[in-house]
Chain A
Amino acid sequence: MAKVLMKGNEAIGAAAIAAGCKYFFGYPITPQSELPEYMSRELPKVGGVFLQAESEVAAINMVYGAAGAGARVMTSSSSPGMSLKQEGISYIAGAELPCLLVNIMRGGPGLGSIQPSQTDYFQATRGGGNGDYRMVVFAPADVQELVDLIIEGFDIADQYRNPVMILGDGMIGQMMEPVEFKTPAKRDLPEKDWATVGTGGNRKPNIVNSLYIAPEDLEAHNIKLQAKYELMRQNESRVESYNIEDADVVIAAYGTTARIAKTAISKLEKEGYKVGLIRPITLWPYPYDEFKKVNPNCKGILTVEMNNGQMVDDVKIAVEGKFPVSFYGRTGGMVPTPDAIIEHVKKICGGEK
């Protein structure tokens, strides 16, 4: 298939439809509204349903119902709206329902701003809703990767019976890039024989539920969930890294911030600095092991984010105290510049060469 030029938010919709998603329940919020608009136009053409819910709370619960009924289904929102969905996400994780969630992050806290940010890293990777649950969280850095991860994300959700989140920022939602729609590697997907579709009179009722009132039952359920999360840790962690075995400084960054870091790295190389990059593609499961490959003589890891320092906690866990970890971030919708990153790298290297 030839490449087409698409805006990030619309590419998400096209990728979801290509993955066989037929149901979208959402609520308008900037900067992701092009996605529900696209779905309202395109889903009816493939026999699907777009429904604008009365709230984000209702939308995520519609996703719960549709996923529990066996459908490929998704919702999307931006930071304040994603906060409202957390209750439903916890229920979805508890009831083990597959679905795709998209958060095109904007500045916070509260109503914050409508400009790009990465301030929901904690919310996405640490739970957000109540209870001990986990989900695969992808942080695409360009529109092609966004499309690829959406398509594969639905399969991952079905394989593990678990929600999958795409964590983008306002920049990736709004930027236009050429994309190609590719079929992902085939996964062995289980039958949805647990779904509520009516008994047909020939089996016992299926029950979609996250309530286990007896403590021993709930503990057993949690042990089963944790075993599933462990499988996800083993199989689904993804990372891109560059020149880390030889670097004097390694930058850790994800999403669009990693692209800015790449620009900084190529400028620094021209000046003779050896700078590597670790770009987690999955923020959960986090690619901790990648940091073990870093040059033992590396002077430090610089974490760059569009927030006040969230992934930096995972970087510290990953390096186990072997390297100094520093942080540079902009927030409130402000975007780090390559020059500012360059300045921080040079500081770690002990100043100008």
Chain B
Amino acid sequence: MTIVFEKTKGLTDVQTHYCPGCTHGIIHRLVGEAMVELGILENAIGVAPVGCSVFAYNYFNCDMQQAAHGRAPAVATGIKRVHPENFVFTYQGDGDLASIGTAEIVHAAHRGEKISTIFVNNAIYGMTGGQMAPTTLIGQKATTAPLGRTEEHSGRPIRISEMLATIHGAKFVERVAVNTPANIRKAKKAIIECFKIQLEGKGFGIVEVLSTCPTNWGMTAPESMKWLEENMIPYYPLGNFRRPEEVE
């Protein structure tokens, strides 16, 4: 019998704590596969955030540090400056990166820090129970926006990729989604390209991954995929915002 598919060596062999239908599992797999395919798993050092993916340090099969809320890019900076020859990445959600950690991500990008960031945007705080995030859509209900987000009260949702694409040191910025097999393939391609930017010493790279949260959105997994496509993608358009050749 020939093996046609097996779990990537980029992930440890443990069961994750993620809810059924959550797309963190897919994104973890893509990151793990990317590290294996690039041959960088053995010298990789990852940084886990605070939020749903806090336990990422148990799942990625490489050395890991757990960072305070929003501080992963600063922690990764400390690691990379000590070990410039190692591959260093952060894995952060939208509460972590787009709210409490905006200073750290902006300045890591601004310095052209040679790290890679996987930014998982599901438009809500998952771990703490469905509170409003800066990325929560207008009209979207959250436990701290029970009537739905309004622009007047909370402003419009923040578009991180578009913002970071204005920064010179950010050499690779792309937004992808994991709601269809085709989009998952594109997401993996973007992650690999992003990681190569670091390996080639070109600067900071980030892949924003639109993700689902069936538990806190109050939907089934298929409904969540549909909601992502119909509501998130129109506001958060997919595509590349920055490549090295466009930077100069």
Contacts and interface: CB of A to CB of B under 8 A. Distances in A.
Interface of A: 23, 25, 49, 51, 53-55, 57-59, 61-71, 73, 87-88, 91, 95, 196-201, 205-211
Given A49-B81, A63-B78, A69-B45, A199 B71 contact: no
Contact of A198 (B63, B68, B71): B63
23 contacts: A49-B82, A58-B74, A58-B107, A61-B71, A61-B78, A62-B75, A65-B47, A65-B65, A65-B75, A65-B77, A65-B82, A66-B81, A66-B82, A69-B65, A71-B82, A95-B65, A197-B83, A198-B43, A200-B43, A205-B12, A205-B61, A205-B64, A206-B64
B76 A196 contact: no
> Which range holds the interface residue count of chain B?
35 or more
B162 interface: no
**Which are the 10 A-B pairs with shortest beta-carbon distances?**
A65-B78, A61-B74, A196-B63, A66-B78, A65-B75, A198-B43, A62-B78, A54-B107, A201-B42, A61-B71
B63 A64 contact: no
Contact of A64 (B58, B78, B80, B86): B78
Contacts of B82: 23, 49, 65-66, 69-71, 73
A196 B42 contact: no
Interface of chain B, main secondary structure: helix
A205 B80 CA distance: 17
A207 B74 contact: no
Interface string B71-115: 100111111111100100000000000000001101100000000
Interface string B139-177: 000000000000000000000000000000000000000
Interface string B191-207: 00000000000000000
B70 to A, nearest CB: 9
A63 B47 CA distance: 14
A205 B62 contact: yes
A66 B76 CA distance: 8
